Amino acid sequence: MTANKSESRNKPPGGGVKRIIRAGRFSMQGLQAAFCNEAAFRQELGLFVLFVPLGIWLGETVEQRLLLIGSCFLVLIVELLNSAVEAVVDRIGTEQHELSGRAKDIGSAAVFCALVLVAICYCAIAWKRFMP
């Protein structure tokens, strides 16, 4: 089988608006799967619900608000990618393997970095707003 045939089977059939609608449906299925199966995603989504209104209140300019809200979105994005990596690794096999552990640890580190970014952004903007 050629690469083109393999690639076309994994993509939603059709083109244009129909393809966009199908792709959107697959995306919603992915969000639902993450919510139902990933405790970390649910926890980070809860923090997102708390921190977005806080970011709207805390930010004094459009740019500050975008930075605060965008960093929260980044956590969700990185968590989704981390969960995808973990699912693929678990699909390959559940036995202990150095590379499987490394892949999961690196994904976890990426989520940690995104969370640190949120903390830095919120602390820096809060400092600027409330400290003389």
Catalytic residue among 7, 60, 63, 79: 79
Q: Is 129 annotated as a binding residue?
A: no
Q: Is 65 annotated as a binding residue?
A: yes
Within 10 angstroms of residue 34's Cβ, the number of other Cβ atoms is 20
Q: Is 112 annotated as a binding residue?
A: no
79 is catalytic: yes
Q: Is 90 annotated as a binding residue?
A: no
Q: Is 60 annotated as a binding residue?
A: no
Q: Is 91 annotated as a binding residue?
A: no
Binding-site residues for a divalent metal cation = 38, 86
Q: Active-site positions?
A: 79
Binding-site residues = 19, 38, 40-44, 65, 79, 86, 95-97, 104-105, 108
Binding-site residues for substrate = 19, 40-44, 65, 79, 108
